Structure 1
Amino acid sequence: MTVESGYADIFGPQVPRTGDEGQTATFALASAAYRDNPVEEILKANSEWHQSAVSSGKIALFRPNLGEAFSRAVVDRMLGAGRKPLIQSFGTEPQAVVEHCLAANRIRRERDNWLSAVMVLCGLLFLPGLVVWLLVFQIRTTIAKREDKRAGALATTLLVAAGALAVIFLIRMPFTGFWAWYARAAVIAPVVGWFWAKQICERTARDLRERWDSLLSGSSVGAKVPEAVPSSPGETAAEALRQSLAKLSAEQQSNSVFYAGPKGVLGMGTRWGSWQLAEDLVPADADREIHPFRSWDVIRSVHDQLRMLERGPLNTGGFPKPSIRHWVVTPIGENAKAVSRPEGTDVDAYQVKSHAIQDICNKQQFGAGDRHYLGVQWTLWDGQLVITMMITVTVLHETLRIEVTGHALGPVHSLFTSKPEAKEKQVQKSVKFWETRTVKLPLVDADEVVRLAARAPLTWYPPLLNWLGGTLSLPEPFGLRHAWADKPWRHRFMADDALRAATPVLRVVHAAAIRVLAENGVETEKFGTRSAFLSTAVQDTSPRKADVYDA
């Protein structure tokens, strides 16, 4: 295995090293794979543009929790056969998130194997008793879901009553001989299996919670996915998984993005500001014509000057090194549910080739088709803030237009940055009843043990389990980073960083463009005047919805 994209070869799969950019956002999203919250919690992370959905199953007893639903949905969507194209996750490493989802699935699969054995030994062989106990817990779960405050007490009373009836049944057995002993075993064996299953579930729950906490504490906990490392040429499943992960990484590096109207550039965030310099191309010398040049010549000069952004006359920190790339931007509908990446001889491994980008820059400036943008991007706050400034140059008739737009993608929703909390509750003291004390609750309660044990045998056939328990539907077009991103404007320093980047970028772009115009015999006085005006205006800039037109 080679080391690529800041990854180290550990246990076969690749995990990001401590200190790599995007660590916080990556680990926050990866932690969702290990969570044991109710699956409905993820609906709190829905944004104005991206909506997840939780489908209800047929039987509440088989419902998944957040970690189970998230890890299964992400793996199926990002590695599934014939999957639709993905949106790049700027500021994160999606391969690391997917590998943590695979690792979580493997841990749960090992637990489910043990639980399946328990279900066979203590349940299937004593099926009548198992069915009765599951029916009791199903009724209890249904009652407990009601909003009535007395529902919890009623559900507990039901379980106590069922236990009392079981004791009476054991004492006053209506059968004799073999069936009497079998009936007693059918009542007792599922209870014994429950205690056995509880130990298995608690051991796994502690492991999952430790991984959840380690990821959010900054520890580079490794995602162990041995099934992604083929050990022999005949392991086709492992080879297919390895190729799927490689395909995911290649698509993450694609230079093709999508503009979804008011949703902005998918993966980069909405457009919060726009500055346009448009003036006529007039010869500087009336006796001489303008030396012919193309939009690409201007863009290339801007590209060279943007590489100097990290340098300055004063040693005051300033800009970190930005990522500067040429982007092919494809327009899609605001409510489009899928995207289609460019294909053909001009595309290689999701990358549009340089000569095709130049053709788009010089020719596709009006009417249908993709457009070219030069982007300068900073990933800040450990991946929690992605600032992107996009530059495009167009020439229509005698007018040259230079447009600079600002895009900002905020931090991942706070749901993903919450650490595991100890399970406890406040109860009144027995003597000093006016005071309360904290009581620690079991990590896995009775209902959770039954739920996990009931689901375990069905995990071998996910379609049936999804039909019975429900699934998590991911927002489309799907990308890990932008699907659950908050707006950066609620965070003072993040907002300041986004706004401060606009002025120096705008000035560098204008200076580089005007230099090219002067070298090719264009009168630059009007361009300089307009640039000075924009340079003044950008200092008083404020974020707005630049893609929402009041028309």
Structure 2
Amino acid sequence: MASDGFDFSPGAQVPLTGAAGQTAATHALASAAYRDGPVAEILKANNEWHTSVVKPGKFSLFEPNLGEAFSRAVQTRTLGGARKALIQSFGTEPQSIVEHCLAATGIRKERDTKLTGITVLFGLVFLPGLLLWMAVFQLRRTLAGAQNKSAGALGTLLLVAVGGLIALFLFKLPFGGFWALYLRVMLVAPIVGWMLAKRVCEATAKDMRARWDALLAGGGIGAKVPEAVPGHPNETAREQLRQGLEKLTAEQQSNSVFYAGPKGILGMGTRWGSWQMAEELVSKEPGKDINQFRSWDVVRAIHDKMKMLERGPLNSGGFPKPSVKHWIVSPVGENAKEVARPEGQDVEAFQVKGHEIQRICNHQQFGGGNRHYLGVQFTLWDGQLVITMMITVTVLHETLRIEVTGHALGPVHPLFTTKPAPKTVTVSKTVRFWETVDRHLPLVETREVVRLAVRAPFTWYPPLLDFLGGKLVLPEPFGLRHAWADQPWRHRFMADDAMRAATPVLRVAHAAAIRVLEENGVDTDRFGNRSMVVSSFVQDPTPRKADLYDA
């Protein structure tokens, strides 16, 4: 199998300049690893075809925030030992996103190590007091609602009552000696631990928010993942992580994709337009047969012409250099929960070999099996818009058909592009009470400190935290980009770019195909007329759901 027992490391690497500016979508998705909002916020980013689910745990006090749940879910899905195949994330660098998830997890582990020490010193030694305070906060969260920022009158009254009871115990107890002293310290020690934990949590929160803000500003500190760099051959865990990241990049470069019915090609978006030219192959010299040629000959000519798309007669900017690639498309069910990449001797490192691509192009045009498409892909708007024009050539009996379809993958959901907002409250001035001023609040609230301190001792075994606090369940088949992509049609210029790309690509494909036909003795008058008719159809400015057949 292509994905087992293969070291995907390319050795010495040279930076790819073509992807240098395509960072907006990558940074937006990576910033989710550093966010501190409620995990339910990510449900706002669900789209028509792909839906994330927040699975609740047993206790709301253990529930993760957005960054913790996102990092955990992405790491498990992309680097897990028995993970399923991933969908390519066009316009992004998935390895960079996963590395930021690992880096965020590393920062949280450092914080949790300190919090665990504080919990042991001020909590475990005085366990009855810790359990009492935990019960109070759990009840308070249950009464107020886990996602509600204000505790509610009943929850606040509960805290006041417990505080009054503690004050009473500090001054008067029905017994004395060691147990009286222990009881007093037992009730106060968790409060002292909370104060220390608050300082640790506040410092980490500032660091995480600074990274979040810097990523969305277009730069930021790169993700540091020292655990992915083995120091010697015996560090198997680090070596497995390194190979997992290399495998992720290799799968991103795979030339096989999946067509999921109305959902379109997974990772490329739904099909919004389709144009076909189909005519009979007739010799231009009566009584003489045409020269034998194959579908691959036409595809190869179209491929060569498509590489020249960025050149034009006028100096008008025009097309950027497109990515022209041969794709093997496998059909999957509309509601399929997983996909399987091609395997066997014709596949190496997730790449279908050239001779197999030619065979599929020439012979698998009707009936079962995978199909061949020539893809012309433009990555625009700093990676936020991916336009893919897919071209397929088929010959059935005496009819040659050239089909061009348009796919568009829009920007990531605005949830991922929102910057961190400072926590402030507007209050009146002391003297000039008619004037107001914004007062900055701590980044970490009281109940958030308690939540982090309670979770910290369990971070050594994340599945237990998933059970206690819940987790984020990612949509399947999963890809980092298409799972949270919006439609481009709500953005006027993105929609214009998608529709403008169709006509030049269509005409270049037709011109290249007609040239091959002429070279092989085919009468191209009908093809030329049909090309003009199709070119008039492509002027229609309205995108449609081309995969939804009204039948």
Cα RMSD, aligned residues only: 1.8
The residue number in structure 1 matching 2:547 is 547
Return the TM-score normalized by structure 1.
0.96
Matched-pair contact (CA < 8 Å) for 1:18–1:219: no
Equivalent-residue separation in structure 1 for 2:238 and 2:288 (angstroms): 67
Q: CA deviation at 1:425?
A: 2.8
The residue number in structure 2 matching 1:88 is 88
Matched-pair contact (CA < 8 Å) for 1:60–1:469: yes
Report matched runs for 1:359-508 at 5 Å.
Answer: 359-427=359-427, 437-508=437-508
Equivalent-residue separation in structure 1 for 2:181 and 2:354 (angstroms): 79
Q: Give yes or no for the alignment of 1:49 onto 2:49.
A: yes
Equivalent-residue separation in structure 2 for 1:348 and 1:246 (angstroms): 14
Equivalent-residue separation in structure 2 for 1:18 and 1:266 (angstroms): 23
The residue number in structure 2 matching 1:530 is 530
Q: Secondary structure, in 3 states, of the residue corresponding to 1:539?
A: coil
- Quick one: which amino acid aligns to residue 296 of structure 1? W
Matched-pair contact (CA < 8 Å) for 1:18–1:220: no
Report matched runs for 1:332-343 at 5 Å.
Answer: 332-343=332-343
Report matched runs for 1:57-136 at 5 Å.
Answer: 57-136=57-136
Q: Secondary structure, in 3 states, of the residue corresponding to 2:330?
A: strand
The residue number in structure 2 matching 1:6 is 15
- Quick one: which amino acid aligns to residue 539 of structure 1? Q
The residue number in structure 2 matching 1:181 is 181
Q: CA deviation at 1:153?
A: 2.9
Distance 1:149 1:478, change over 3 A: closer
Equivalent-residue separation in structure 2 for 1:516 and 1:322 (angstroms): 23
Equivalent-residue separation in structure 1 for 2:318 and 2:64 (angstroms): 47
The residue number in structure 2 matching 1:14 is none
Distance 1:63 1:170, change over 3 A: same
Q: CA deviation at 1:155?
A: 2.0
Equivalent-residue separation in structure 2 for 1:216 and 1:454 (angstroms): 31
Matched-pair contact (CA < 8 Å) for 1:205–1:444: yes
Matched-pair contact (CA < 8 Å) for 2:272–2:544: yes
Distance 1:499 1:230, change over 3 A: same
- Quick one: which amino acid aligns to residue 422 of structure 2? A
Q: Secondary structure, in 3 states, of the residue corresponding to 1:337?
A: coil
The residue number in structure 2 matching 1:218 is 218
Distance 1:472 1:348, change over 3 A: same
Equivalent-residue separation in structure 1 for 2:148 and 2:102 (angstroms): 39
Matched-pair contact (CA < 8 Å) for 1:408–1:488: yes
The residue number in structure 2 matching 1:11 is none
Matched-pair contact (CA < 8 Å) for 2:61–2:451: yes
Structure 2 regions of 5+ residues with no counterpart? 1-9
Aligned length: 542
Return the TM-score normalized by structure 2.
0.96
Q: Secondary structure, in 3 states, of the residue corresponding to 2:321?
A: coil
Equivalent-residue separation in structure 2 for 1:412 and 1:174 (angstroms): 63
Equivalent-residue separation in structure 1 for 2:143 and 2:240 (angstroms): 45
String of CA shifts for 1:355-412, please: whole Å, max 9, x gaps: 0000000000011100000000010011100000000000111111000000000000
Q: Secondary structure, in 3 states, of the residue corresponding to 2:152?
A: helix
The residue number in structure 2 matching 1:32 is 32
Matched-pair contact (CA < 8 Å) for 2:62–2:454: yes
Matched-pair contact (CA < 8 Å) for 1:136–1:159: yes
String of CA shifts for 1:183-209, please: whole Å, max 9, x gaps: 111011101000010011001101100
Q: Give yes or no for the alignment of 1:283 onto 2:283.
A: yes
Report matched runs for 1:186-197 at 5 Å.
Answer: 186-197=186-197
Equivalent-residue separation in structure 2 for 1:415 and 1:494 (angstroms): 19
Q: CA deviation at 1:154?
A: 2.6
Distance 1:4 1:264, change over 3 A: farther
Matched-pair contact (CA < 8 Å) for 1:21–1:379: no
Q: Secondary structure, in 3 states, of the residue corresponding to 1:99?
A: helix
Matched-pair contact (CA < 8 Å) for 2:60–2:146: no
String of CA shifts for 1:493-520, please: whole Å, max 9, x gaps: 1111101000000000000000001110
Equivalent-residue separation in structure 2 for 1:352 and 1:111 (angstroms): 45
Distance 1:434 1:152, change over 3 A: farther
Equivalent-residue separation in structure 1 for 2:288 and 2:150 (angstroms): 91
Q: Secondary structure, in 3 states, of the residue corresponding to 1:421?
A: coil
Q: CA deviation at 1:143?
A: 1.5
- Quick one: which amino acid aligns to residue 24 of structure 1? A
- Greater mean deviation of Cα atoms: 261-270 or 432-441: 432-441
Q: Secondary structure, in 3 states, of the residue corresponding to 2:459?
A: helix
The residue number in structure 1 matching 2:6 is none
- Quick one: which amino acid aligns to residue 505 of structure 1? V
Equivalent-residue separation in structure 1 for 2:175 and 2:326 (angstroms): 81
Equivalent-residue separation in structure 2 for 1:385 and 1:171 (angstroms): 67
Equivalent-residue separation in structure 2 for 1:183 and 1:3 (angstroms): 63
Equivalent-residue separation in structure 1 for 2:160 and 2:22 (angstroms): 51
- Greater mean deviation of Cα atoms: 346-355 or 428-437: 428-437
Equivalent-residue separation in structure 2 for 1:550 and 1:175 (angstroms): 83
Distance 1:494 1:350, change over 3 A: same
Matched-pair contact (CA < 8 Å) for 2:38–2:147: no
The residue number in structure 1 matching 2:5 is none
Q: Secondary structure, in 3 states, of the residue corresponding to 2:539?
A: helix
The residue number in structure 2 matching 1:201 is 201
The residue number in structure 2 matching 1:144 is 144
- Quick one: which amino acid aligns to residue 22 of structure 2? G
Q: CA deviation at 1:418?
A: 0.3
Q: Secondary structure, in 3 states, of the residue corresponding to 1:238?
A: helix
- Quick one: which amino acid aligns to residue 15 of structure 2? G
- Greater mean deviation of Cα atoms: 283-292 or 405-414: 283-292
- Greater mean deviation of Cα atoms: 35-44 or 457-466: 457-466
The residue number in structure 1 matching 2:320 is 320
Structure 1 regions of 5+ residues with no counterpart? 8-16
Equivalent-residue separation in structure 2 for 1:92 and 1:192 (angstroms): 46
Equivalent-residue separation in structure 2 for 1:38 and 1:428 (angstroms): 30
Distance 1:320 1:539, change over 3 A: same
Equivalent-residue separation in structure 1 for 2:299 and 2:18 (angstroms): 36
Distance 1:532 1:438, change over 3 A: same
Distance 1:4 1:21, change over 3 A: farther
Equivalent-residue separation in structure 2 for 1:330 and 1:5 (angstroms): 32
The residue number in structure 2 matching 1:227 is 227
Equivalent-residue separation in structure 2 for 1:498 and 1:359 (angstroms): 31
Equivalent-residue separation in structure 2 for 1:398 and 1:273 (angstroms): 26
Distance 1:154 1:441, change over 3 A: farther
Q: CA deviation at 1:19?
A: 7.4
- Quick one: which amino acid aligns to residue 514 of structure 2? I
String of CA shifts for 1:441-488, please: whole Å, max 9, x gaps: 211010000000000001111111111100000000000010000000
Distance 1:141 1:327, change over 3 A: same
Equivalent-residue separation in structure 2 for 1:110 and 1:425 (angstroms): 31
The residue number in structure 2 matching 1:254 is 254
String of CA shifts for 1:324-377, please: whole Å, max 9, x gaps: 000000000000000000000000000000000000000000111000000000
String of CA shifts for 1:96-118, please: whole Å, max 9, x gaps: 00000000000000100010001
Q: Secondary structure, in 3 states, of the residue corresponding to 2:126?
A: helix
Distance 1:317 1:147, change over 3 A: closer
The residue number in structure 2 matching 1:309 is 309
